[in-house]
């Protein structure tokens, strides 16, 4: 049984469809990268895992199972228990994710209990200065604040850590240091990791599998090096080709043509069809079912032609 199972999940925000039948599986101990353009549905899917969606969000169908428990069907006390026992979260904004009115040590003790040695947990994320525990979040740099957030998320060794672009606000050197901490702690604890990211080369290096989102659906998933090195979906190929690290020195980057869709309901066909050079008539009117190409599962009527 998968640790996380998302099945045909539909989420709407006041007339806008954020998830249009998303499917995702994360196994115990697995590191999965979730990639796609802004607006593809990554953050909504990550928040849905812990039922942390904002109030306007409405579930139109589907389910999320964490350790076999139906997240959306649990009472509030059950959701709190599920988060406490199984889940950890690290969000994009390191300062905004911490309580500005409480010292760092006090916030860690809320997670660990009154008698806990918070400095031990801060040292695990390479914050060795004891003054950090006595500081307020605004007194820390972005990298330090994000390490504190990681320490809090991993303090109870959750089974699944959801990291929503945790280094987006950090510079490149600090970004690598924070990612090293996240992945090292997850490996030591045997924690599964769902990492939402725009950094395709880093995802290829660090993750076991990749899931590519577009138009509120996972359009391709499989082993990381296969998906990003030999993509079978036209969108994955365009996304990988537009990454700066994929281009030869001096080569002109080719952005994905057009704009991501803004859905108000279920997409009648493939949501990528208006931007796809391979689109046929059926792509605009017939929703693609999953097909197998090598080790990847792909939502595309013409997936075989992409690989050719």
Mean pLDDT by 10 residues, the chain (308 residues): 94 94 96 94 96 94 96 96 94 87 92 84 91 93 91 93 88 86 94 94 94 97 93 92 66 78 93 92 94 93 75
Provide the pLDDT for residue 293. 92
Provide the pLDDT for residue 242. 76
Name residue, tokens 């040292």.
123
Provide the pLDDT for residue 245. 62
Provide the pLDDT for residue 174. 85
Residues ≥6 apart with Cβ < 8 Å to 123? none
Retrieve residue 301's tokens.
């009527």
Task: Using DSSP, state whether 57 is helix, strand or coil.
Answer: strand
Provide the pLDDT for residue 252. 72
Residues ≥6 apart with Cβ < 8 Å to 3? 26, 27, 28, 30, 66, 67, 159, 160, 192
Provide the pLDDT for residue 305. 80
Provide the pLDDT for residue 247. 58
Per the CB < 8 A criterion, the answer to whether 219 and 298 are in contact is yes
Provide the pLDDT for residue 123. 92
Provide the pLDDT for residue 249. 65
- What homologous superfamily is domain 4-94+157-173+185-247+259-307 in, according to CATH? P-loop containing nucleotide triphosphate hydrolases (3.40.50.300)
- Closest CA relative to residue 66, chosen from 192, 181, 156: 192
């Amino acid at each position: 049984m998968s640790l996380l199972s998302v099945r045909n999940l539909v989420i709407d925000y006041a007339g806008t469809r954020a998830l249009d039948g998303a499917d995702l599986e994360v196994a115990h101990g697995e590191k999965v990268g979730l990639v796609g353009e802004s607006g593809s549905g990554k953050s909504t899917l990550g928040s849905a895992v812990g039922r942390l969606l904002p109030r306007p969000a409405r579930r139109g169908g589907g389910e999320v199972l964490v350790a076999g428990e139906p997240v959306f069907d649990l009472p509030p006390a059950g959701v709190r228990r599920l988060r406490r026992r199984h889940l950890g979260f690290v969000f994009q904004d390191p300062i905004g994710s911490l309580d500005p009115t409480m010292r760092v040590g006090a916030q860690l003790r809320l997670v660990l209990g009154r008698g806990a040695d918070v400095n031990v947990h801060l040292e695990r994320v390479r914050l060795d200065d004891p003054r950090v525990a006595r500081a307020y979040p605004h007194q820390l740099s972005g990298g330090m604040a994000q390490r504190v957030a990681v320490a809090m998320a991993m303090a109870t060794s959750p089974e699944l850590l959801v990291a929503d672009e945790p280094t987006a606000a950090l510079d490149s050197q600090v970004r690598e240091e924070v990612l090293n901490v996240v992945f090292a702690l997850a490996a030591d604890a045997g924690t599964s990791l769902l990492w939402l990211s725009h950094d395709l080369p880093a995802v290829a290096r660090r993750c076991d599998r990749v899931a590519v989102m577009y138009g509120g659906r996972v359009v391709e998933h499989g082993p990381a090096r296969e998906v990003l090195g030999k993509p079978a979906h036209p969108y994955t190929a365009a996304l990988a080709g537009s990454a700066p690290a994929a281009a030869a020195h001096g080569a002109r980057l080719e952005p994905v043509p057009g704009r991501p869709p803004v859905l108000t309901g279920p997409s009648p066909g493939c949501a990528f069809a208006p931007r796809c050079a391979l689109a046929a008539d059926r792509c605009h009117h017939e929703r693609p079912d999953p097909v197998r190409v090598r080790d990847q599962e792909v939502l595309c009527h013409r997936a075989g032609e992409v690989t050719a």
